[in-house]
Amino acid sequence: MNLGRGVLIYGLGRSGRGVARFLAREAGAGGSGAQWHDHRPSPEDEALMGELGLARGDVAGEYGVVVAAPGVPIDHPDLLALQARGAEIIGEVALAARLRPGLPLVGVTGTAGKGSTTVLIAQLLRGSGLNAREGGNIDPPLLDVVDEAEVAVAELSSFQLERVPGLRLPVAVITNLGIDHLDRHGTVEAYHAAKLAVTAGQRAGDVLVLPTGLEARVSTQADIWAFTPDHLALRDGTEVLSVAELPQGVHPANAAAALLAAEGLLRFLGRRADPEVLAGALRSAQPVTGRFETVARVGEVSFIEDSIATRTIAVEAALRQARPPIAWLVGGRDKGADLAPLAEAARGRVARVIAFGEDGEMFARELGLPYDTVTGEGGDEVLRRAAEAGFAALGGRKGTGTVLLAPIGTSFDLFKDYQARGASFRRAARALAGEAP
- Give the annotated binding-site residues for ATP: 110-116
SS3 label, residue 37? strand
Q: Torsions phi, psi of 155, nearest 5?
A: -75, 130
Q: Give the annotated binding-site residues.
A: 110-116
- Are β-strands 232-233 and 239-241 bridged in parallel, bridged antiparallel, or unpaired? antiparallel
Using alpha carbons, select from 183, 116, 204 the residue that is nearest to residue 153. 116
String of DSSP letters for 116-167: HHHHHHHHHHHHTT--EEEEESSSS-GGGTTTT-SEEEEE--HHHHTT-TT-
Q: Who's near 119: CB < 8 A, 6+ residues apart?
A: 134, 138, 286, 288
Using alpha carbons, select from 77, 84, 7 the residue that is nearest to residue 39. 77
Task: Output the CA torsion sign for 256, 147, 268, 207.
Answer: positive
Could you tell me which residues are beta bridge partners of residue 133? 152
Q: Are 205 and 264 in contact (CB under 8 A)?
A: no
DSSP letter assigned to residue 207: E
**261 to 218, 227, 389: CA distances (angstroms):** 17, 10, 43
Q: Are 247 and 241 in contact (CB under 8 A)?
A: no
Q: How far apart are CA 409 and CA 395, in angstroms?
A: 27
Helix (H) or strand (E) holding 403: strand 400-408
